[in-house]
Structure 1
């Protein structure tokens, strides 16, 4: 038997500004919720510009922050960070090294990047109260292969980078469309050498027989239907599942984190492959599964008494004002989820506090400047956020009760 235990999880923290000078009581309310839990977890959606330097390796979506933001997250109450995401390599290997150095200096439990593949994929552990907690964090892209950590081999030195869950994107086409695409490729005199040249610095994708073609970096497959698929690499998935099982066998609560940008056309819809992988992680021993990537709230599932948060959207979202792609209201609405475990270690309930990132005034009036922090939602706004989450979760068999401004999933 152990003491009751709680984990607060939030949306991703794309943070560029130090919040410690803000004396707003609404931010203090958020911090109070986070500090009330034994573990407070978020995804650090940036890379740290520290003593190792670095240079931008991305275009308009580049993001980096000073080490001060880590102190700000610590002061808010966070003590655990996932580091695997599409911004972690924005400064290249130097940014990876600086981020590792700074999060360690601030005593965060952290995982998802490393000096090499072995380091990046290794579960990182810390004791909170009476519970041993392990964190395994990974990113499924899409992104260039050079942003992922690599072990040294003969002729290649190790590369600092991100822990990868390897997946590939395949488009299935009915025979007529597939044959048309192949004929276009032939008329353009496209050759394997040409495609290899244009794939640089990547290697061209692997093909499996005559029913697949590489059309300038995208694989199309002859099929009975037209569909877009994300296919997990079995070896990569098995390696992560083995790491989960190893830690779970040590009486450790394992938090598994997945970041990805393989969104559905409706970006609040949970991809089938993510749900399958989340179930596999729980079957392997994960005590909590959290995912980010799409900057919107997605459904919650309780599978084998284990909470699965398919997408918690945003918590801090310091974007540029001219980035209109983030203007939909669902981008700015989320929840803080607190998972409460009893003395037996079993999940007892999940409490959900709805929040508005940037403040309710800016949500209703785009001309208003957004606050650099989230605020608790109340009244009609709180009800709308919770009711929408309940609807999105119902398909997974999740029953979400709402009492005033708080939601709860009880057992």
Structure 2
């Protein structure tokens, strides 16, 4: 019987180094695992590069990367909406600094092949592979291709259905605006390759149905490409983890969208052992499928936002997170999940100050986080989850 442990936490959105004081319990969880990874929600400062956005850049430096290494991470997932903040130069610089620090970078690269490559982490008990994908929505320019730098895509496409009467009204609207002919002409000469076969309304495909409904489905070409990478990783590793990043949020950020759960189960069916997700900056509940963990909304570990006051004023708790250690028994089908609730690492209070590290929560505060994360579990799955006491680690 062999047990292999994989540790993961919410996103590391950091602008520079952090003070590791007080993070001892978190560091132990990460360093004692066979493999530990986190989503790097930033790109490296890069001389000569310029922003690809008009707002909300998240840039870090070598000191920030060194802090993540010191905490105990082995790999950084980089398929997210801030990886392309400085375009291809930022992608290249990030890989250079991350690898120089002794970490592996996954999910971004100078080509799609590089962005799709998994990290292989050799632990004491076996090999762990980690892959990273971005689910969108983002402009196509951020996604890597055969000859263009970017991030690894697994784009989710929205589809909508409406009853026949509404469908006919929408078709009439599109025809009156000339959108149907306009987009058909663009598709005919290759300006568009994803033009809806039936009806498209303001960029969304709309089909006839019994009632109004919407959902998301993976882009078939993206899924086929990712499935090949997942299968190859499965053949070379004892455990395969998939980091997903998603900005198709439901109105209630604390609720994992049903389609994310569906996608996670599909990836487990294709060979994944662990799904670890980020995107909405808050914690969501966890679930299991075939005994394997779906941690699809891990929120934040470090969050150097410039909108602290806005989140606080709106009552959005971006300051509570968790690190999870998933222990897989290779002789059984499933895993145990150990949860360490943490107070998220906040921004530095003033320029030149080192930002604080995330620190473990204790007592009732820790229990509250644990109960919220496990509230929707079936009884048989609840037995798989334990709360880590930082004082008895």
| TM-score (structure 1 length as normaliser) | 0.83
2:207 to 218, 221, 245: 221
Structure 1 residue 30: deviation in Å? 2.6
Aligned to 1:34: 30
Q: Which moved more, 1:132-141 or 1:347-356?
A: 347-356
Structure 1 residue 59: deviation in Å? 2.5
2:87 matched to 1:98?
Answer: no
1:384 to 368, 387, 392: 368
2:297 matched to 1:311?
Answer: yes
Give the SS at the match of 2:288: strand
In 1, distance between residues paired with 2:20 and 2:236? 42
Structure 1 residue 375: deviation in Å? 2.1
| TM-score (structure 2 length as normaliser) | 0.86
Q: Which moved more, 1:41-50 or 1:283-292?
A: 283-292
2:142 matched to 1:150?
Answer: no
Aligned to 1:134: 129
Structure 1 residue 324: deviation in Å? 1.7
Contact 2:241 2:272 in 1 (8 A): yes
Give the SS at the match of 2:226: helix
Select the structure with the greater relative contact order (CA < 8 A; seq sep ≥ 6). 2
2:243 matched to 1:257?
Answer: yes
2:109 matched to 1:123?
Answer: no
Aligned to 1:366: none
Aligned to 2:6: 7
Q: Which moved more, 1:162-171 or 1:298-307?
A: 298-307
**RMSD of aligned C-alpha atoms?**
3.0
Change (3 A) 1:17 1:281: same
Aligned to 2:17: 18
- The one-character-per-residue Cα deviations of 1:343-382 (angstroms, maximum 9, x if unpaired) are 75865522111112257xx9xxxxxxxx743221122211
Aligned to 1:301: 287
Contact 1:318 1:372 in 2 (8 A): no
In 2, distance between residues paired with 1:132 and 1:182? 53
How many matched pairs? 381
Contact 1:300 1:398 in 2 (8 A): no
In 2, distance between residues paired with 1:378 and 1:322? 23
Contact 1:14 1:44 in 2 (8 A): yes
Structure 1 residue 265: deviation in Å? 2.2
In 1, distance between residues paired with 2:169 and 2:380? 40
Aligned to 2:148: 159
Change (3 A) 1:351 1:126: closer
